[in-house]
Structure 1
Protein backbone atom coordinates (compact mmCIF):
# COMPACT_ATOMS: atom_id res chain seq x y z
CA UNK A 1 0.00 0.00 0.00
CA UNK A 2 1.39 3.40 -0.98
CA UNK A 3 1.31 6.19 1.57
CA UNK A 4 1.34 9.95 1.31
CA UNK A 5 4.87 10.94 2.27
CA UNK A 6 7.43 13.71 2.55
CA UNK A 7 4.86 16.33 3.43
CA UNK A 8 7.23 18.60 5.31
CA UNK A 9 10.32 18.05 7.43
CA UNK A 10 9.79 18.06 11.17
CA UNK A 11 13.13 19.83 11.57
CA UNK A 12 11.41 22.90 10.14
CA UNK A 13 8.59 22.82 12.67
CA UNK A 14 9.76 21.07 15.84
CA UNK A 15 10.58 23.53 18.59
CA UNK A 16 10.75 21.25 21.63
CA UNK A 17 8.53 22.17 24.59
CA UNK A 18 5.80 24.78 24.64
CA UNK A 19 7.32 28.26 24.29
CA UNK A 20 6.21 30.76 26.89
CA UNK A 21 7.05 34.29 27.95
CA UNK A 22 10.31 34.36 29.97
CA UNK A 23 9.72 35.37 33.60
CA UNK A 24 12.36 35.65 36.32
CA UNK A 25 11.49 34.32 39.78
CA UNK A 26 12.90 32.40 42.73
CA UNK A 27 12.71 28.58 42.69
CA UNK A 28 13.09 26.08 45.54
CA UNK A 29 14.05 22.42 45.72
CA UNK A 30 11.40 19.83 46.55
CA UNK A 31 12.33 19.84 50.27
CA UNK A 32 12.61 23.63 50.37
CA UNK A 33 16.22 23.62 51.60
CA UNK A 34 17.75 25.15 48.47
CA UNK A 35 16.69 28.05 46.30
CA UNK A 36 17.94 29.76 43.16
CA UNK A 37 16.81 32.47 40.78
CA UNK A 38 16.10 31.80 37.12
CA UNK A 39 13.87 32.82 34.23
CA UNK A 40 11.03 30.49 33.33
CA UNK A 41 11.29 29.76 29.60
CA UNK A 42 8.99 26.80 28.88
CA UNK A 43 7.37 23.64 30.20
CA UNK A 44 6.09 20.42 28.65
CA UNK A 45 4.04 19.58 31.75
CA UNK A 46 6.62 17.24 33.30
CA UNK A 47 9.72 19.46 33.37
CA UNK A 48 10.66 23.13 33.07
CA UNK A 49 13.32 24.89 31.04
CA UNK A 50 14.99 27.66 33.06
CA UNK A 51 17.63 30.29 32.25
CA UNK A 52 20.05 31.14 35.05
CA UNK A 53 21.54 34.63 35.59
CA UNK A 54 24.70 33.47 33.75
CA UNK A 55 22.41 32.89 30.69
CA UNK A 56 22.89 29.12 30.77
CA UNK A 57 19.71 27.05 30.45
CA UNK A 58 18.84 24.00 32.53
CA UNK A 59 15.98 21.50 32.42
CA UNK A 60 14.50 20.55 35.80
CA UNK A 61 11.90 17.85 36.43
CA UNK A 62 8.78 19.25 38.11
CA UNK A 63 9.06 16.58 40.81
CA UNK A 64 12.39 18.11 41.86
CA UNK A 65 10.78 21.49 42.53
CA UNK A 66 8.88 22.67 45.59
CA UNK A 67 5.11 22.13 45.57
CA UNK A 68 4.53 25.91 45.40
CA UNK A 69 6.69 26.10 42.26
CA UNK A 70 4.85 23.17 40.70
CA UNK A 71 1.55 24.92 41.39
CA UNK A 72 2.90 28.11 39.80
CA UNK A 73 3.87 26.23 36.62
CA UNK A 74 0.47 24.49 36.41
CA UNK A 75 -1.36 27.79 36.82
CA UNK A 76 0.87 29.43 34.21
CA UNK A 77 0.15 26.66 31.72
CA UNK A 78 -3.55 26.78 32.52
CA UNK A 79 -3.68 30.52 31.81
CA UNK A 80 -2.13 29.88 28.40
CA UNK A 81 -4.45 27.08 27.32
CA UNK A 82 -6.63 27.73 24.28
CA UNK A 83 -9.94 29.21 25.39
CA UNK A 84 -12.25 27.02 23.31
CA UNK A 85 -12.20 23.92 21.14
CA UNK A 86 -11.24 24.44 17.50
CA UNK A 87 -13.13 22.76 14.67
CA UNK A 88 -11.46 21.41 11.54
CA UNK A 89 -14.37 21.97 9.20
CA UNK A 90 -13.16 24.55 6.67
CA UNK A 91 -10.71 24.78 3.77
CA UNK A 92 -8.10 26.26 6.10
CA UNK A 93 -7.71 26.48 9.87
CA UNK A 94 -10.25 28.62 11.74
CA UNK A 95 -10.75 31.99 9.97
CA UNK A 96 -7.43 31.92 8.09
CA UNK A 97 -7.54 32.17 4.29
CA UNK A 98 -4.88 31.09 1.81
CA UNK A 99 -3.17 34.19 0.47
CA UNK A 100 -3.39 36.07 3.78
CA UNK A 101 -0.27 38.07 4.60
CA UNK A 102 1.63 37.57 7.85
CA UNK A 103 0.11 40.65 9.49
CA UNK A 104 -3.41 39.52 8.57
CA UNK A 105 -2.73 36.01 9.88
CA UNK A 106 -1.46 37.34 13.20
CA UNK A 107 -4.43 39.70 13.55
CA UNK A 108 -6.86 36.83 12.95
CA UNK A 109 -5.05 34.56 15.41
CA UNK A 110 -5.02 37.21 18.13
CA UNK A 111 -8.76 37.70 17.72
CA UNK A 112 -9.67 34.01 17.56
CA UNK A 113 -11.52 32.47 20.54
CA UNK A 114 -9.89 29.07 19.85
CA UNK A 115 -6.25 30.20 19.70
CA UNK A 116 -3.82 31.32 22.41
CA UNK A 117 -0.37 32.86 22.09
CA UNK A 118 2.44 31.52 24.26
CA UNK A 119 5.20 34.04 23.57
CA UNK A 120 5.41 37.81 24.00
CA UNK A 121 5.44 40.21 21.06
CA UNK A 122 9.15 41.06 21.25
CA UNK A 123 10.22 37.42 20.96
CA UNK A 124 7.65 36.73 18.23
CA UNK A 125 9.41 39.36 16.15
CA UNK A 126 12.65 37.40 16.44
CA UNK A 127 11.32 33.85 16.02
CA UNK A 128 8.38 34.23 13.62
CA UNK A 129 4.94 32.68 14.12
CA UNK A 130 5.81 28.97 14.10
CA UNK A 131 5.00 27.24 17.39
CA UNK A 132 3.87 30.49 19.03
CA UNK A 133 0.13 29.90 18.79
CA UNK A 134 -1.70 26.81 20.01
CA UNK A 135 -5.21 25.45 19.95
CA UNK A 136 -7.22 22.46 21.16
CA UNK A 137 -9.10 19.91 19.04
CA UNK A 138 -11.20 17.20 20.71
CA UNK A 139 -9.37 17.71 23.99
CA UNK A 140 -5.88 17.45 22.49
CA UNK A 141 -3.46 20.37 22.24
CA UNK A 142 -1.87 21.37 18.93
CA UNK A 143 0.65 24.03 18.00
CA UNK A 144 0.37 25.98 14.75
CA UNK A 145 3.07 26.10 12.08
CA UNK A 146 2.95 28.01 8.81
CA UNK A 147 4.44 27.96 5.33
CA UNK A 148 4.49 31.01 3.09
CA UNK A 149 4.85 31.74 -0.60
CA UNK A 150 7.70 33.82 -2.00
CA UNK A 151 5.32 36.78 -1.72
CA UNK A 152 4.82 36.07 2.02
CA UNK A 153 1.27 34.83 1.51
CA UNK A 154 -0.11 31.93 3.53
CA UNK A 155 -0.05 28.60 1.69
CA UNK A 156 -0.03 25.96 4.47
CA UNK A 157 -1.03 25.57 8.13
CA UNK A 158 -0.03 22.51 10.16
CA UNK A 159 -1.55 21.60 13.52
CA UNK A 160 1.15 19.62 15.31
CA UNK A 161 0.14 17.56 18.35
CA UNK A 162 2.27 16.94 21.41
CA UNK A 163 5.13 14.48 21.03
CA UNK A 164 4.84 11.22 22.97
CA UNK A 165 7.11 8.30 23.81
CA UNK A 166 7.11 5.21 21.60
CA UNK A 167 4.98 3.24 24.08
CA UNK A 168 2.14 5.71 23.44
CA UNK A 169 2.24 5.31 19.66
CA UNK A 170 0.10 2.17 19.73
CA UNK A 171 -2.17 3.52 22.48
CA UNK A 172 -2.93 7.18 23.10
CA UNK A 173 -1.66 8.49 19.76
CA UNK A 174 -3.58 5.83 17.86
CA UNK A 175 -6.79 6.92 19.61
CA UNK A 176 -5.97 10.55 18.81
CA UNK A 177 -5.42 9.62 15.14
CA UNK A 178 -8.69 7.66 15.02
CA UNK A 179 -10.57 10.61 16.52
CA UNK A 180 -9.19 12.92 13.83
CA UNK A 181 -10.16 10.44 11.10
CA UNK A 182 -13.72 10.49 12.42
CA UNK A 183 -13.85 14.29 12.74
CA UNK A 184 -12.43 14.91 9.27
CA UNK A 185 -14.78 12.35 7.69
CA UNK A 186 -17.71 14.04 9.41
CA UNK A 187 -16.68 17.48 8.13
CA UNK A 188 -15.25 16.67 4.69
CA UNK A 189 -16.73 13.31 3.70
CA UNK A 190 -14.77 10.33 2.43
CA UNK A 191 -11.07 10.95 1.77
CA UNK A 192 -9.71 10.65 -1.76
CA UNK A 193 -6.95 8.49 -0.30
CA UNK A 194 -6.75 6.52 2.94
CA UNK A 195 -4.39 3.97 4.47
CA UNK A 196 -4.11 2.32 7.85
CA UNK A 197 -2.30 3.55 10.94
CA UNK A 198 1.39 3.58 9.91
CA UNK A 199 3.69 1.14 11.73
CA UNK A 200 6.39 3.03 13.67
CA UNK A 201 9.22 1.73 11.48
CA UNK A 202 7.78 3.74 8.56
CA UNK A 203 8.14 7.00 10.47
CA UNK A 204 11.76 7.95 9.85
CA UNK A 205 13.77 10.84 8.52
CA UNK A 206 12.02 13.57 10.49
CA UNK A 207 9.11 13.77 8.03
CA UNK A 208 5.35 13.74 8.40
CA UNK A 209 3.77 10.67 6.81
CA UNK A 210 0.25 11.18 5.48
CA UNK A 211 -2.34 8.44 5.92
CA UNK A 212 -5.47 10.31 4.72
CA UNK A 213 -6.03 12.97 2.08
CA UNK A 214 -9.14 15.09 1.52
CA UNK A 215 -9.85 17.55 -1.30
CA UNK A 216 -12.12 20.44 -0.41
CA UNK A 217 -14.80 21.90 -2.67
CA UNK A 218 -12.56 24.89 -3.41
CA UNK A 219 -9.63 22.77 -4.60
CA UNK A 220 -7.51 22.76 -1.44
CA UNK A 221 -6.13 19.79 0.53
CA UNK A 222 -6.27 18.47 4.09
CA UNK A 223 -3.94 15.69 5.22
CA UNK A 224 -3.87 13.60 8.37
CA UNK A 225 -0.30 12.73 9.28
CA UNK A 226 1.90 10.98 11.81
CA UNK A 227 5.59 11.62 12.41
CA UNK A 228 8.64 10.73 14.47
CA UNK A 229 11.55 12.82 15.69
CA UNK A 230 14.27 11.83 18.15
CA UNK A 231 12.40 8.73 19.27
CA UNK A 232 9.09 10.49 19.98
CA UNK A 233 5.90 10.40 17.93
CA UNK A 234 3.12 12.82 17.05
CA UNK A 235 -0.09 13.30 15.07
CA UNK A 236 -0.64 16.31 12.82
CA UNK A 237 -3.22 17.84 10.46
CA UNK A 238 -1.93 19.76 7.45
CA UNK A 239 -4.04 22.32 5.55
CA UNK A 240 -2.57 23.08 2.10
CA UNK A 241 -3.64 25.62 -0.52
CA UNK A 242 -2.76 23.37 -3.47
CA UNK A 243 -4.72 20.32 -4.59
CA UNK A 244 -2.33 17.49 -3.77
CA UNK A 245 -2.78 14.51 -6.12
CA UNK A 246 -3.33 11.15 -4.41
CA UNK A 247 -0.95 8.25 -4.85
CA UNK A 248 -2.17 4.99 -6.37
CA UNK A 249 -3.59 2.67 -3.70
CA UNK A 250 -4.30 -1.03 -3.72
CA UNK A 251 -7.93 -1.99 -4.20
CA UNK A 252 -8.98 -1.60 -0.59
CA UNK A 253 -12.19 0.23 0.43
CA UNK A 254 -11.36 3.41 2.34
CA UNK A 255 -13.58 2.35 5.26
CA UNK A 256 -11.64 -0.91 5.67
CA UNK A 257 -8.10 0.13 4.85
CA UNK A 258 -6.87 -0.08 8.44
CA UNK A 259 -8.12 -3.63 8.97
CA UNK A 260 -7.11 -4.81 5.51
CA UNK A 261 -3.65 -3.31 5.74
CA UNK A 262 -2.77 -5.57 8.65
CA UNK A 263 -2.74 -8.54 6.31
CA UNK A 264 -0.95 -6.83 3.41
CA UNK A 265 2.69 -6.08 2.87
CA UNK A 266 3.37 -2.35 2.94
CA UNK A 267 5.10 -0.95 -0.13
CA UNK A 268 7.85 1.64 0.11
CA UNK A 269 6.64 5.23 0.66
CA UNK A 270 6.36 7.35 -2.46
CA UNK A 271 6.58 11.12 -2.57
CA UNK A 272 3.80 13.32 -3.81
Structure 2
Protein backbone atom coordinates (compact mmCIF):
# COMPACT_ATOMS: atom_id res chain seq x y z
CA UNK A 1 0.00 0.00 0.00
CA UNK A 2 2.88 2.43 0.63
CA UNK A 3 3.68 2.39 -3.09
CA UNK A 4 0.34 4.16 -3.60
CA UNK A 5 1.68 7.20 -1.74
CA UNK A 6 4.73 7.30 -3.99
CA UNK A 7 2.54 7.11 -7.11
CA UNK A 8 0.14 9.76 -5.85
CA UNK A 9 2.96 12.10 -4.86
CA UNK A 10 4.36 11.75 -8.35
CA UNK A 11 1.04 12.57 -10.02
CA UNK A 12 -1.27 14.56 -7.71
CA UNK A 13 -2.55 17.90 -9.01
CA UNK A 14 -0.76 17.61 -12.35
CA UNK A 15 -1.81 16.46 -15.79
CA UNK A 16 1.00 14.25 -17.09
CA UNK A 17 1.04 13.48 -20.81
CA UNK A 18 1.19 9.78 -21.65
CA UNK A 19 1.99 8.23 -24.97
CA UNK A 20 -1.16 8.42 -27.13
CA UNK A 21 -2.50 4.90 -27.50
CA UNK A 22 -5.89 3.28 -27.31
CA UNK A 23 -6.81 1.80 -23.95
CA UNK A 24 -9.80 -0.28 -22.91
CA UNK A 25 -11.56 1.45 -20.00
CA UNK A 26 -13.71 -0.68 -17.70
CA UNK A 27 -16.75 0.52 -15.78
CA UNK A 28 -16.78 0.52 -11.97
CA UNK A 29 -18.51 -2.88 -11.84
CA UNK A 30 -16.32 -4.30 -14.62
CA UNK A 31 -19.35 -5.33 -16.71
CA UNK A 32 -18.89 -2.86 -19.57
CA UNK A 33 -15.99 -1.17 -21.32
CA UNK A 34 -15.06 1.27 -24.08
CA UNK A 35 -11.91 2.24 -25.98
CA UNK A 36 -10.21 5.61 -25.99
CA UNK A 37 -6.92 7.46 -25.68
CA UNK A 38 -5.75 9.00 -22.42
CA UNK A 39 -5.48 12.82 -22.62
CA UNK A 40 -4.86 14.07 -19.06
CA UNK A 41 -5.91 13.54 -15.46
CA UNK A 42 -5.99 14.95 -11.97
CA UNK A 43 -6.58 13.18 -8.67
CA UNK A 44 -10.34 12.77 -9.27
CA UNK A 45 -10.92 12.63 -13.03
CA UNK A 46 -9.42 11.44 -16.28
CA UNK A 47 -9.92 13.03 -19.70
CA UNK A 48 -10.27 10.59 -22.61
CA UNK A 49 -10.45 10.95 -26.41
CA UNK A 50 -12.82 8.50 -28.07
CA UNK A 51 -12.08 6.88 -31.42
CA UNK A 52 -14.46 9.35 -33.11
CA UNK A 53 -12.34 12.24 -31.78
CA UNK A 54 -14.75 13.38 -29.05
CA UNK A 55 -13.00 14.38 -25.81
CA UNK A 56 -14.76 13.94 -22.46
CA UNK A 57 -13.98 13.69 -18.74
CA UNK A 58 -14.91 10.81 -16.43
CA UNK A 59 -14.73 10.61 -12.64
CA UNK A 60 -12.43 7.83 -11.44
CA UNK A 61 -15.30 6.79 -9.15
CA UNK A 62 -17.24 5.69 -12.27
CA UNK A 63 -14.36 3.57 -13.53
CA UNK A 64 -12.92 0.31 -12.27
CA UNK A 65 -10.19 0.83 -9.60
CA UNK A 66 -7.69 -0.78 -11.99
CA UNK A 67 -8.03 2.23 -14.31
CA UNK A 68 -6.68 4.73 -11.79
CA UNK A 69 -3.84 2.34 -11.02
CA UNK A 70 -3.07 2.13 -14.75
CA UNK A 71 -3.13 5.91 -15.25
CA UNK A 72 -0.96 6.74 -12.24
CA UNK A 73 1.56 3.98 -12.90
CA UNK A 74 1.89 5.01 -16.56
CA UNK A 75 2.31 8.66 -15.55
CA UNK A 76 5.10 7.63 -13.20
CA UNK A 77 6.96 6.17 -16.17
CA UNK A 78 5.62 2.65 -16.35
CA UNK A 79 4.85 0.16 -13.63
CA UNK A 80 5.06 1.82 -10.22
CA UNK A 81 8.07 0.75 -8.19
CA UNK A 82 7.19 -1.33 -5.16
CA UNK A 83 8.95 -0.64 -1.88
CA UNK A 84 11.79 -2.99 -1.04
CA UNK A 85 10.29 -3.53 2.41
CA UNK A 86 6.55 -4.04 3.05
CA UNK A 87 7.01 -2.20 6.35
CA UNK A 88 7.89 1.04 4.54
CA UNK A 89 6.31 4.11 6.13
CA UNK A 90 6.93 6.81 3.52
CA UNK A 91 8.34 5.97 0.10
CA UNK A 92 10.88 3.22 0.94
CA UNK A 93 11.80 4.56 4.39
CA UNK A 94 11.20 2.23 7.35
CA UNK A 95 11.21 2.78 11.07
CA UNK A 96 14.48 1.31 12.34
CA UNK A 97 16.55 2.37 9.31
CA UNK A 98 19.92 3.82 10.27
CA UNK A 99 21.27 7.08 8.88
CA UNK A 100 23.26 5.54 6.03
CA UNK A 101 20.30 3.45 4.87
CA UNK A 102 18.03 6.51 4.94
CA UNK A 103 20.54 8.49 2.87
CA UNK A 104 20.73 5.75 0.23
CA UNK A 105 16.94 5.43 0.00
CA UNK A 106 16.43 9.18 -0.29
CA UNK A 107 19.04 9.45 -3.02
CA UNK A 108 17.32 6.68 -5.03
CA UNK A 109 13.79 7.99 -4.43
CA UNK A 110 11.44 9.05 -7.24
CA UNK A 111 9.16 10.88 -4.80
CA UNK A 112 11.63 13.35 -3.26
CA UNK A 113 14.60 15.39 -4.41
CA UNK A 114 17.33 17.68 -3.12
CA UNK A 115 19.36 20.46 -4.70
CA UNK A 116 22.11 20.15 -2.09
CA UNK A 117 25.42 18.64 -3.16
CA UNK A 118 26.45 15.42 -1.38
CA UNK A 119 29.55 17.14 -0.01
CA UNK A 120 27.41 19.47 2.12
CA UNK A 121 24.98 16.90 3.53
CA UNK A 122 27.33 15.86 6.32
CA UNK A 123 27.47 19.46 7.53
CA UNK A 124 23.75 20.20 7.42
CA UNK A 125 22.15 16.85 8.28
CA UNK A 126 19.06 15.58 6.47
CA UNK A 127 16.38 17.81 7.98
CA UNK A 128 14.80 20.15 5.46
CA UNK A 129 17.09 19.37 2.52
CA UNK A 130 14.72 16.96 0.74
CA UNK A 131 11.30 17.91 -0.61
CA UNK A 132 8.56 16.19 -2.59
CA UNK A 133 9.18 16.37 -6.34
CA UNK A 134 5.56 17.28 -7.00
CA UNK A 135 3.57 19.94 -5.21
CA UNK A 136 0.60 18.88 -3.12
CA UNK A 137 -2.18 21.44 -3.31
CA UNK A 138 0.30 23.90 -4.79
CA UNK A 139 2.97 23.48 -2.10
CA UNK A 140 6.03 21.27 -1.78
CA UNK A 141 6.53 19.30 1.43
CA UNK A 142 9.97 19.16 3.04
CA UNK A 143 11.16 16.11 5.00
CA UNK A 144 12.35 16.09 8.61
CA UNK A 145 13.49 13.15 10.72
CA UNK A 146 13.78 12.06 14.34
CA UNK A 147 16.01 9.29 15.65
CA UNK A 148 16.24 6.93 18.62
CA UNK A 149 19.14 6.90 21.06
CA UNK A 150 20.59 4.12 18.88
CA UNK A 151 20.38 6.44 15.85
CA UNK A 152 17.61 4.57 14.05
CA UNK A 153 14.64 6.26 12.42
CA UNK A 154 11.53 6.60 14.59
CA UNK A 155 9.70 9.56 13.03
CA UNK A 156 9.28 11.18 9.62
CA UNK A 157 7.66 14.56 9.17
CA UNK A 158 6.48 16.20 5.97
CA UNK A 159 5.84 19.91 6.27
CA UNK A 160 5.28 22.79 3.92
CA UNK A 161 7.44 25.88 4.01
CA UNK A 162 6.10 28.58 6.30
CA UNK A 163 3.21 30.61 4.84
CA UNK A 164 1.70 33.92 5.88
CA UNK A 165 -1.80 34.27 7.31
CA UNK A 166 -3.28 35.13 3.90
CA UNK A 167 -2.36 31.67 2.57
CA UNK A 168 -3.84 29.85 5.57
CA UNK A 169 -7.49 29.67 4.36
CA UNK A 170 -6.57 29.18 0.69
CA UNK A 171 -3.44 27.40 -0.52
CA UNK A 172 -2.64 25.78 2.82
CA UNK A 173 -6.18 24.46 3.13
CA UNK A 174 -5.94 22.95 -0.36
CA UNK A 175 -2.70 21.17 0.60
CA UNK A 176 -4.31 19.93 3.82
CA UNK A 177 -7.37 18.67 1.89
CA UNK A 178 -5.28 16.74 -0.62
CA UNK A 179 -3.23 15.17 2.16
CA UNK A 180 -6.47 14.01 3.83
CA UNK A 181 -7.28 12.16 0.59
CA UNK A 182 -3.77 10.76 0.14
CA UNK A 183 -3.47 9.44 3.67
CA UNK A 184 -7.01 8.08 3.59
CA UNK A 185 -6.21 6.16 0.39
CA UNK A 186 -3.33 4.44 2.19
CA UNK A 187 -4.49 3.99 5.77
CA UNK A 188 -8.25 3.92 5.34
CA UNK A 189 -10.69 5.65 7.65
CA UNK A 190 -8.96 7.74 10.35
CA UNK A 191 -9.70 6.91 13.97
CA UNK A 192 -10.13 10.62 14.54
CA UNK A 193 -11.02 13.26 11.96
CA UNK A 194 -11.73 16.94 12.38
CA UNK A 195 -12.16 19.97 10.18
CA UNK A 196 -9.45 22.34 9.04
CA UNK A 197 -8.23 24.05 12.25
CA UNK A 198 -9.26 27.64 12.87
CA UNK A 199 -6.25 29.92 12.54
CA UNK A 200 -6.97 31.36 16.00
CA UNK A 201 -6.24 27.94 17.52
CA UNK A 202 -2.73 27.74 16.07
CA UNK A 203 -0.01 28.89 18.44
CA UNK A 204 3.71 29.29 17.83
CA UNK A 205 5.78 26.09 18.19
CA UNK A 206 2.64 23.95 18.56
CA UNK A 207 1.46 21.08 16.35
CA UNK A 208 -2.34 21.05 16.11
CA UNK A 209 -3.55 17.73 14.60
CA UNK A 210 -6.85 17.30 12.81
CA UNK A 211 -6.58 13.64 11.72
CA UNK A 212 -5.14 10.45 13.19
CA UNK A 213 -4.62 7.09 11.49
CA UNK A 214 -3.34 3.83 12.93
CA UNK A 215 -0.72 2.33 10.62
CA UNK A 216 -0.44 -1.39 9.96
CA UNK A 217 3.06 -1.44 11.47
CA UNK A 218 1.66 -0.30 14.82
CA UNK A 219 2.68 3.35 14.51
CA UNK A 220 0.56 6.43 13.91
CA UNK A 221 0.08 8.94 11.11
CA UNK A 222 -1.10 12.42 12.03
CA UNK A 223 -2.10 15.37 9.86
CA UNK A 224 -2.45 18.91 11.11
CA UNK A 225 -1.04 22.42 11.13
CA UNK A 226 1.68 24.24 13.00
CA UNK A 227 3.28 27.65 13.38
CA UNK A 228 6.98 28.47 13.47
CA UNK A 229 8.24 32.00 13.86
CA UNK A 230 4.81 33.42 13.11
CA UNK A 231 4.42 31.50 9.83
CA UNK A 232 2.00 28.64 9.23
CA UNK A 233 2.69 25.10 8.01
CA UNK A 234 0.77 21.96 7.07
CA UNK A 235 2.41 18.97 8.78
CA UNK A 236 2.23 15.17 8.47
CA UNK A 237 3.85 13.03 11.19
CA UNK A 238 4.64 9.34 10.76
CA UNK A 239 5.71 8.10 14.18
CA UNK A 240 6.36 4.84 16.02
CA UNK A 241 4.35 6.29 18.89
CA UNK A 242 0.89 4.77 19.36
CA UNK A 243 -1.01 8.03 19.61
CA UNK A 244 -4.42 7.87 21.25
CA UNK A 245 -7.30 9.98 19.96
CA UNK A 246 -7.96 11.22 23.49
CA UNK A 247 -4.51 12.84 23.47
CA UNK A 248 -5.60 15.37 20.85
CA UNK A 249 -5.93 18.97 22.09
TM-score (norm 1): 0.56
Q: 1:105 Cα deviation (Å)?
A: 0.2
2:121 to 121, 124, 141: 124
1:111 matched to which residue of 2? 108
1:92 to 82, 89, 92: 89
- Classify the secondary structure of the residue corresponding to 2:246: coil
CA contact (8 A) 1:91 1:221 kept: no
Q: 1:162 Cα deviation (Å)?
A: 2.3
2:149 matched to which residue of 1? 150
1:101 matched to which residue of 2? 98
Cα-Cα RMSD: 2.6
Q: 1:241 Cα deviation (Å)?
A: 1.7
Structure 1: tracts of 5 or more residues without a match: 1-82, 249-268
CA contact (8 A) 1:141 1:162 kept: yes
How far apart in 2 are the matches of 1:114 and 1:103?
A: 19
Give 1:134-173 correspondences, 5 Å limit: 134-135=131-132, 136=134, 138=136, 140-173=139-172
How far apart in 1 are the matches of 2:113 and 2:102?
A: 13
How far apart in 1 are the matches of 2:172 and 2:96?
A: 32
1:236 matched to which residue of 2? 235
Q: How many residues matched?
A: 167
2:40 matched to which residue of 1? none
How far apart in 2 are the matches of 1:90 and 1:223?
A: 18
How far apart in 2 are the matches of 1:99 and 1:143?
A: 21
Runs (4 or more) in structure 1 with deviation over 6 Å come to 83-86
How far apart in 1 are the matches of 2:141 and 2:202?
A: 19
1:179 aligns with 2:178: yes
Structure 2: tracts of 5 or more residues without a match: 1-75
1:192 matched to which residue of 2? 191
Moved more, 211-220 or 179-188: 179-188
How far apart in 2 are the matches of 1:184 and 1:115?
A: 17
Q: In structure 2, do the counterparts of structure 1 residues 90 and 176 end up closer, same or farther at CA, with 3 Å as the change threshold?
A: farther
TM-score (norm 2): 0.61
Q: In structure 2, do the counterparts of structure 1 residues 137 and 237 end up closer, same or farther at CA, with 3 Å as the change threshold?
A: farther
Q: In structure 2, do the counterparts of structure 1 residues 188 and 174 end up closer, same or farther at CA, with 3 Å as the change threshold?
A: same
CA contact (8 A) 2:222 2:237 kept: yes
2:222 matched to which residue of 1? 223
